[in-house]
Structure 1
Amino acid sequence: MGTDDCSPVLKLSEVGGAQGDRFKALGQFFEKKYGQPPEFYVRAPGRVNLIGEHIDYCGYSVFPMAVQQDIVMAVRGVSKPTISLANMDPSYADFSCSTEKLSVERPSGSVPWSSYVLCGVLGVQEHCRLAALRGLQVAVSGSIPASSGLSSSSALVCAASLATLHANQVSLSKSEVAGVCAHAERYIGTEGGGMDQAICFLAKKGTAKLIEFNPLRAHDVQLPPGAVFVIANSLAEKNKAASSDYNCRVMECRLATQLLAKSRGLEWSKFRRLGDLQKELKLEFSEMVDMVRTVLHEQPYSKKEICSELGVTEQQLDEITLSENTRHIDQFLPYQRALHVFSEAGRVFAFRSVCESGGEDVLSRMGQLMNESHASCRDQYECSHELLDTICRIAEGVAYGARLTGAGWGGCTVALVPGDRVDEYISKLKTEFYARRPTAEGLDLDTVVFRTEPGDGAAIYM
């Protein structure tokens, strides 16, 4: 499957066109900032998840592809034990710290961009047990819109990890460094799954990927002819590390897992993911859905009720199950979250099957699955946003299907659009959506609504 080779080292001289101009501008910015040219560059792409939302951290497969938008770092190793960071976007402040006793503080509010870089550096140091890190001078150029659901934060972590590995002359396989990055992002408190990091390293131009976890495996899936995807940014921003909404969903899935395990007489505290429970019970997705409907109730569970069901105190539940930033929550919806996860996990494999089956109606069947996914994210998982829903309604009648992509609560949608109607769809969004949004004034709309194709994974350039 080609998942165990290292990220490629490519020739900088072969990067042409607009991307070549961007690398050149970043190099000039670096030299002006640090007084000498960079030693190498790292590129890490963003991603769009075509289907399979909020299920990777439950142990289920996802269906993403890399996009052209990316994070590019210009890097130089230095003997001084210091990490210096600069961003071409002046809204991101410069940052510097010592490499000795490196740590990442968990912020109570918005996460500074430098923390994502430090996550990647620290993840490599701890995984590779590097006693002393080479100092780094880094300049960054990003074309992924922040908090858009296209994984700008994970791309920063991945680029920083790859830069740290190369500067310290350490090699890891793509799958191994993806795992390091998935774990490293938890330094700032995000209880993510691993999809973003996996596709960042394992992506292959021209194909989407069905990614399985434990162990990490990636399967190329050729999209059918005529499949064109258009991404539209709702302009509603949501930083998943800056609130407890994302982690609350993770915990609700964990609570659902433990309540269901307890109902089957299993040692419930050993189970943390719905996927692991399903493997233990050897049941189909439809059977897990039936189990949810039978065992759990639709009304919200209070923390007190969950403790009573599991036979623990609130302090024990905090220690065994809940994350630090979800212990204050008093009501949970494990019924709805579990229904979404099992139905969405089934849709991922249905989507691959449809892609590979062909037939005249293949695109409409893919679109229907995307529509069902969005409805489930909106109604069962409650991670949509009114602006995302508006874009999906505008897509009706033009696109085969549309859905939110990424964590949700803002960010982007992805729509499957007939090739001959892409311009019509983009024009419709510009007039019926962006023209009515004050936040869109002055923006280059071609950067917020655009067609995309599967791109390559992370790479080093020299």
Structure 2
Amino acid sequence: MAEQATIERVKAAFADRFGGAPDLIAQAPGRVNLIGEHTDYNDGFVLPLAIDRGTVVAARRAGSETVVYAADFDEEDRFTFAERIDDAGPGDWRNYVRGIIAMLVEQEMAPQGMELVIGGDVPQGAGLSSSASLEVAVGLAVASLAGAQIDLTLLAQLAQRAENEFAGCACGIMDQLVSARAEPEQALLIDCRSLECRPVPLPEHAAVLIVHSGVERGLVDSAYNERRQQCEQAAGHFGILALRDADEGQVESAEELDELARMRARHVVTENARTLDAAEALAGGDMARLGRLMADSHASMRDDFEITVPAIDELVAILQREIGGEGGARMTGGGFGGCVIALLPQERVDPVIDAVRRDYRPPNGKPVMIHVCRPAAGAALITSLP
């Protein structure tokens, strides 16, 4: 959930921009993934949790035109539903908003005209799903304005479509689903084929540490879509629906598979197994086992999937050294920059942070950004229509 200061800032921006109060306010959190990277679009397993940063949307019905004000950018967008809602061009925040609204128009879950003010506190380009948070928060606000009781899984599916079709990122369902359905103090084991979600409690003494590498990433402009294509090609080679249906022996014994495809497939197959094992370790409070699985996951992302960068590898090595066998650390998110996640005992947080500040120098030259969190709840209305 977004911090209270963000909620108050959005409310004030709404009054300043449109006058009066909104009909409702919705929020949706960002997320961090404990383990299970690039497995979601392969119909596999992921283990994310929502963080206490998010997107807030203040919304009110209005006429026949929709006006959206992005408080963080001091930018506005205007459109009507009389004509097809088009994307706004590559890399534009408007695509996420237009996309989810277009999906809800299809579902007849959007009023003809609205006034929306959007603000958030999820760091952008950090791999913490600011885009999914935006899509889900806008979607919940718009559907609620229309008086619809939208199913949260459907909301996540529509938000995923919005990102695929309007923002041009071929992401899987993980980010949107955990933003919509997360539960407090729980990670969420998601079967990305069935969309079954199973809460997995974190040990009471465990802390989640998120450290920004200082390398911003852009998934649409990166090799993210290329990795997805490579996975689909490997699945096609085996004649299966997705790499979820392959096993490690099958991947290693396929002599006609080229080495690059083998590497990509090996990561997905082994990462799925690690994610299921990690959920079991987490539920049992076995931090040492979880740490080993996180280390193996990072090595696989680095060597087989080739989505880490030197600064990320350095940061992970520092965290793994300092945490030792009491937890673990790995890159989190789509790759090519962003954040590292660590799970460790609460009493170890301060000395580990001290070591990171002492030994790590972000490439952007800024002070290292560190966030300590517990798992937060998913999307919700803060105030609702009378």
Q: What TM-score do you get using the length of structure 1 for normalisation?
A: 0.78
Q: Give the superposition deviation at 1:291.
A: 1.3
* Residue-by-residue CA offset, 1:175-196 (whole Å, 9 max, x unaligned): 2212222222211222111011
Aligned to 1:449: 370
Q: Which moved more, 1:399-408 or 1:221-230?
A: 221-230
Q: Does 1:122 align with 2:43?
A: no
Task: Check conservation: 1:63, 1:211, Cα contact below 8 A.
Answer: yes
Q: 2:48, 2:187 within 8 Å by CA — same for their partners in 1? A: yes
Please point out which of 35, 41, 45 is paired with 1:51.
Answer: 35
Query: Is 1:289 the counterpart of 2:215 in the alignment?
Result: no
- The one-letter amino acid of 1:346's match is A
Asked which structure has the greater CA Rg, the reply is 1
What residue number does 1:431 align with? 358
Partner AA of 1:341 in structure 2 = V
Aligned residue in 2 for 1:4 = none
Deviation at 1:220, TM superposition (A): 1.2
Distance in 1 separating the partners of 2:232 and 2:276:
23
Q: Summarize the Cα distance change of 1:296–1:194 in structure 2 as closer, same or farther, 3 Å threshold.
A: farther
Q: What amino acid sits opposite 1:429 in the alignment?
A: V
**Aligned counterpart for 2:300 among listed residues 358, 368, 376:** 376
Taking the aligned partners of 1:238 and 1:104, their CA distance within structure 2 comes to: 25
* Equivalent residues of 1:99, 1:133 under 8 A apart: no
2:20 to 36, 39, 47: 36
Q: Which residue of 1 aligns with 2:211?
A: 232
Give yes or no for contact 1:104–1:118 (8 Å, CA) kept in 2. yes
Q: Distance in 2 between matches of 1:225 and 1:23?
A: 28
Counterpart for residue 172 of structure 2: 193
Residues in 2 aligned to 1:19 and 1:97: alpha-carbon distance in whole angstroms: 30
Are positions 1:273 and 2:257 aligned together? no
Deviations 1:52-90 (A, max 9, x none): 00000000111010000101111111122x221222223
Match of 1:324 in 2: none
Q: How far apart in 2 are the matches of 1:423 and 1:221?
A: 26
Residue deviations 1:223-268, cap 9 Å, x none?
224221100011211111234x11111111100011112xxxxxxx
TM-score where L is the length of structure 2: 0.93
C-alpha change, 1:298 and 1:233, in structure 2 (3 Å) is farther
Counterpart contact for 1:59–1:273, Cα < 8 Å: yes
The residue number in structure 2 matching 1:85 is 68
Residues 438 and 58 of structure 1, relative CA distance in 2, 3 Å threshold: closer
Q: Is the 8 A contact 1:298 1:336 kept in 2?
A: no
Stretches of 4+ moved more than 4 A in 1?
296-300
- Uncovered stretches (5+) of structure 2, i.e. residues with no partner: none
Task: Letter of the 1:125 partner, please give it.
Answer: V
Q: Percent identity?
A: 29
**Structure 2 match to 1:168:** 146
SS class of match (1:397): helix
Q: Which amino acid aligns with 1:384?
A: T
SS at match of 2:55: strand
Give the aligned partner of residue 205 of structure 1. Answer: 184
Relative to 1, partners in 2 of residues 1:106 and 1:89: Cα closer, same or farther, differing over 3 Å? closer
Which position in structure 2 is the counterpart of 1:406? 333
Secondary structure of 2:99's aligned partner: helix
1:142 aligned to which of 106, 109, 120? 120
Secondary structure of 2:45's counterpart equals: coil
